[in-house]
Amino acid sequence: MTNAHKKLFIKTWGCQMNVYDSNRMSDILSALGYKTVDAPEGADMMILNTCHIREKATDKVFSELGRLRVHKEEKEAAGGKMIIAVAGCVAQAEGDFILERAPYVSMVFGPQTYHELPEMVIKAGGGERVINTEFPSVSKFDHLPDQHTIEGSAAYLSIQEGCDKFCTFCVVPYTRGGEYSRSAQEIMDEAHRLVDQGALEIMLLGQNVNAFHGAGKNGRAVGLAELIRNISEIKGLERVRYSTSHPRDMDDDLIRVHGEVQKLMPFLHLPVQSGSNKILEAMNRKHKTDIYLDVIAKLRKARPDIAFSSDYIIGFPGETDQDFEDSLELARTVGYASCYSFKYSARPGTPAANLQAALVPEHIASERLKRFQALINEQQAAFNKSCEGKVLPILFDRKGRKQGQLSGRSPYSQSVYVNGNERLIGNIVDVKITEAFDNSLTGDIVMADDVA
Ligand code: SAH
Ligand code: SF4
Ligand code: F3S
């Protein structure tokens, strides 16, 4: 006989792959009697699923641990027990250091070993401190239970992990390891299960998702284009997206799919990082701006209503005023629906961290970032404005903040708020956009008679 459910609290930072991983950890631990809760009070286990991509990542983890250990102390004072675990990319990069500095942490494990959670939990329960930051030769995907944890009607599905590209600023090849693609069959099975559980939208995930090359039938490799064609045929699935792509891996077949598959949403996140070819080379991006613009032009030709977002790093070592102007110019040329920009942050162990002499002074980098973000805010507001008066299909996935309000996502991933009945949650409904704001849209549900 098992006791009542034990409580598991997971806090997640970082990319969508970490969100996927946290859900899968919930699945694994639910088989051991843990129920995932959304507050740390009284938890029997806490997992911090961490991200190492930019500065102060490790500091953030320690300050969060400092706050959460209070709950452990309270629980122990009352005669209870709590396991605190650090997972994810900071765990991978700083494993031993975490165990050393935080004696109340019982488990530290990287993104590739969480399928071993049941063994780790038993050890930690027996008082052992566990560290597990190997890159196992067998993929975790071969050992995960079927999923139960899906968030709303839009689900994430990791199809590819890791990266072999080694951009000089980036920790991902070190924290996630080399590129690995799951098999096409395994992914199709998982996609079917997600749709059976109510997913209307699936976002295919990978650090380099368009480098995907999974084993297909008879040992033949399946690329992302073919996978999207197959997934889009699943009955009941309405929307497909994929993220994050590298410009160099946008082959013609994948571009063609954007024109062929209506379920593939007309919105693509395609990080470029800089508009200067000199900086792109120093970043080891292996693409120039002309390749990027060429891919964008081809995608627009294939799918005229497609919109783009991107990532830019501002203030990479050696970035001159002119290099920065080139980034602004590239962003103006593309015209984004939204875009992320980050001040360069030297990451320990990456090649660019040795470029100390060429560091852009902090105040200049901040000034540039501000200018870049002002341009992007303008572009985003203009894109949102261009949606006014249009009818867009909106996937409603939750209640809005205000009474009677629903919140959903447009094909371009914009947040859309309307007044409507809660039973529309989990449905895709036509909405006439009435007003655009900087970060969201509002509108009215289109009634059947409006359409007639
Ligand atoms: N695989 C994706 C990016 C993953 S990291 C790609 O190839 O584009 C997400 C974003 O974080 C990157 O696109 C980059 O813009 C930003 N980033 C990564 N390392 C960084 C660093 N050291 N400093 C600032 N931004 C960084
Ligand atoms: Fe990092 Fe570059 Fe790989 Fe993207 S492609 S994960 S930025 S190394
Ligand atoms: Fe962060 Fe690791 Fe994702 S460093 S962005 S959680 S791959």
Report pLDDT digits (tens) over 68-78: 999 999 999 99
**Segments making up each domain of the chain, as ranges:** 3-132, 391-450
Report the alpha-carbon distance of residue 247 to residue 298 in Å, rounded: 12
Report pLDDT digits (tens) over 354-389: 988 899 999 999 999 999 999 999 999 999 999 999
Give the pTM: 0.94
Q: Which atom of ligand 2 is nearest to the CA of 207?
A: 6
Report pLDDT digits (tens) over 10-61: 999 999 999 999 999 999 999 899 999 999 988 999 999 999 999 888 899 9
152 falls in which pLDDT band (50, 70, 90)?
A: confident
Residues with CB under 6 A from ligand 2: 163, 165-167, 170, 172-173, 207-208, 246
Within 10 angstroms of residue 260's Cβ, the number of other Cβ atoms is: 14
Q: Which atom of ligand 1 is nearest to the CA of 273?
A: 15
Q: Give, for ligand 1, the residue of 17, 53, 376 to mutate: max count of ligand atoms closer than 8 Å to Cβ.
A: 53
3-132: CATH architecture: 3-Layer(aba) Sandwich (3.40)
| 391-450 belongs to CATH 2.40.50.140 | yes
Task: Using the structure block, give the residue that is written with the tokens 């993929």.
Answer: 139
**Among the ranges given (74-78, 82-86, 160-164, 233-237), the one the predictor scored with the smallest mean pLDDT:** 74-78
| C-alpha 172 to ligand 2 mean position (Å) | 6
pLDDT at 337: 98
Opening angle at CA 383, ends 256 and 279, nearest 5: 70
Q: Which atom of ligand 1 is nearest to the CA of 350?
A: 22
Element (H, E) at 49: strand 45-50
pLDDT at 156: 93
Indicate if the pLDDT at residue 232 is higher than 70.
yes
Angle in degrees, 0-180, between the axes of helices 224-231 and 184-196, rounded to the nearest 10? 30
Within 10 angstroms of residue 378's Cβ, the number of other Cβ atoms is: 12
**177-183: average pLDDT:** 95
For the chain, the average pLDDT equals 94
Q: Give, for ligand 1, the residue of 313, 330, 339, 360 to mutate: max count of ligand atoms closer than 8 Å to Cβ.
A: 313
Task: Report the amino acid identity of residue 448.
Answer: A
Residues with CB under 6 A from ligand 1: 53-54, 169-170, 172, 207-208, 244, 246, 271, 273, 311, 313, 342, 344-345, 347
The number of the ligand nearest the C-alpha atom of 110 reads: 3
